Amino acid sequence: EVVLTQSPVTLSLSPGERATLSCRASQSVSSYLAWYQQKPGQAPRLLIFDASKRATGIPPRFSGSGSGTDFTLIISTLEPEDFAVYYCQQRSNWPSTFGQGTRLEIK
């Protein structure tokens, strides 16, 4: 089973700043890496798939990059609604697995 390790666990930033979130896989997942956003009491929301493709309706301030074992989600300019927990997910190896999440909080 592929283990996804996200860092940092918590990221404290202010609106308007740039956020950089990391996801590292225990073995190569090619480009089959997705990012989800989850707000309290809500289900996850698909942001990015295949490492860099934005899902429908996702604003361009969200971007993803990486391949193999190292991936990054960047939020270029934080909006108040972006403060949430972010999860990565790989679908390269069965079963699909998720990272433990990065909590993006307001500083």
Residues that bind another protein (CB under 8 A): 34, 36, 42-46, 49, 55-56, 87, 89, 91, 95-101
For 99, phi and psi rounded to 5 degrees? -75, 175
- 19 vs 34, beta carbon nearer another protein: 34
Closest CB 19 distance from another protein, rounded Å:
20
Closest CB 30 distance from another protein, rounded Å:
14
CA–CA distances in Å: residue 101 to residues 43, 44, 93: 14, 11, 19
Nearest in space to 27 (alpha carbons), one of 3, 47, 6, 44:
3
Closest CB 73 distance from another protein, rounded Å:
15
